[in-house]
Structure 1
Amino acid sequence: MKPAKPLILSHALALFNAEGVSGVPMRKIANAAGISPGNLTYHFPSREALIVALHSQMLQTAQQLNAELKQGPMTLERLLESMRIGFRVVYAYRFFLVDLPLIMRTYPKLRQHFREVADIRKQMYVQAFQQAHAEGWMREEAYSGEYDELIDRIRIFSDFWVVSAEVYEDEDESSTISRHLRLFMNLLFPYLHAAGQAEFDRLRPSI
């Protein structure tokens, strides 16, 4: 049997993904985990504490992916595979994006946590772009701050692609991830050298 905290988080994640944050009271999570409400609140005194713990789980996975990406040469193919895994991770925790405005309004303390994570994500992209430029397949900035603005667009896309998929599409998980991964990679295309664009064309059918 799983230790209590991982078991609770696993059931909370499944319920939040299926029913949304507002539709899942703490008692329902306790019932799903097969524990008493008191035992649940011993480990997680509030729904906010559960959400913070789940967000930390997702962040740790993202940081591990970034560490793996920095090992060895940065290629477009390696970036693509890393992003594919990253999209799967985000989809596994998709309630965050579906309920993001609700979470921000209901738990204002989480706003700072999300902003700190956004700063970490930004640094991950900065490092990836610097390495890609050093490897010779991503061009320099055409004007000061161009890549900062690209990262802002990536953040907006990353925060809302799951919502768009839920509203406009009826595809399975694999098709949804592939579609939005392809759209994400399209954001990078104008910033690639000719060799990078040729590599992108080669890789595109596999996305």
Structure 2
Amino acid sequence: MSDTRRRILDSARALFNEHGLSRVGVRDVARATGMSPGNLAYHFPTKGALVTALLTELYELNQSAVFTEPMQTFSLASLYAAATGAMRNMVGYRFVLLNYVDAVRASPELAGLEAELAKKRRERHDRMLAALVENGFVERAALARSDVLYEQSSMISSGWLTAAALRGWDDERAVLHFAKAGCALLAPHCTERGARQMRRILRGELDGPAPKTKNERKGK
């Protein structure tokens, strides 16, 4: 990716996160990037193209850095690590959860991408559930409830940032709380082996330290 495209996307993401999708236009992004709307349009012709690029970026970030555990060794601990990792990534793209519905309705391009990503999310959910069954953490009967479990986890995934904001929680507290809530959906279906790991998750034994901020990594 060129430096110019990177600068545009970083500016757009910061503005969308701070002000919301509906309050930021292409001209605002151009102004923040220090370029004319015409020059910006050369890289991203529409606001929908900007949002589409950011959504694709988030999906690829999760694929390369979060959902990396082989299914042969996938466990409830792996699920919890993936959930916390994906949620921490989402914090940097919070506009996706806070203003996304209006954007999808307004952009056919974005609506098409969302349909594609929704299909991939469902396929990933089914693969992880099947792996948890095959690896002895979840009872096989849970496969019959895959649809319900997916809808329940989707409700948590789409609403956790709003719920955290209403409660006045900081991001890391919200990540750990709602990642546990998502994993706990499987608690009634755990095998004895899975139940032991689930208890460790819910007690916070697998939380680990919060990731460092950019300034902390630089020693500031």
TM-score (norm 1): 0.90
C-alpha separation in 1, matches of 2:106 and 2:97: 14
- Secondary structure (helix, strand or coil) at the match of 2:139 reads coil
TM-fit CA distance, 1:46: 0.8
Partner of 1:199: 197
* Counterpart AA for 1:174: E
Residue 171 (structure 2) aligned to one of 152, 170, 173:
173
Q: 1:64 to 1:84 in 2, by over 3 A?
A: same
C-alpha separation in 2, matches of 1:67 and 1:169: 29
Q: Does 1:147 align with 2:133?
A: no
TM-fit CA distance, 1:72: 5.5
* Counterpart AA for 1:173: D
Q: 1:137 to 1:145 in 2, by over 3 A?
A: closer
C-alpha separation in 1, matches of 2:167 and 2:29: 29
Partner of 1:89: 89
**1:29-44 aligned within 5 A:** 29-44=29-44
TM-fit CA distance, 1:193: 1.0
**1:42-191 aligned within 5 A:** 42-65=42-65, 68-70=68-70, 73-141=73-141, 145-166=144-165, 168-191=166-189
In the alignment, structure 1 segments of 5+ residues that lack a partner are none
* Counterpart AA for 1:158: S
* Counterpart AA for 1:149: V
C-alpha separation in 2, matches of 1:192 and 1:65: 27
C-alpha separation in 1, matches of 2:129 and 2:144: 13
TM-fit CA distance, 1:35: 2.0
TM-fit CA distance, 1:67: 5.1
* Counterpart AA for 1:195: R
* Counterpart AA for 2:188: P
Contact 2:164/2:170 (CA < 8 Å) preserved in 1?
no
TM-fit CA distance, 1:45: 0.7
Contact 1:141/1:147 (CA < 8 Å) preserved in 2?
no
TM-fit CA distance, 1:95: 0.6
Contact 2:72/2:131 (CA < 8 Å) preserved in 1?
no
Query: Which 4+ residue blocks in structure 1 deviate beyond 4 angstroms?
Result: none
TM-score (norm 2): 0.85
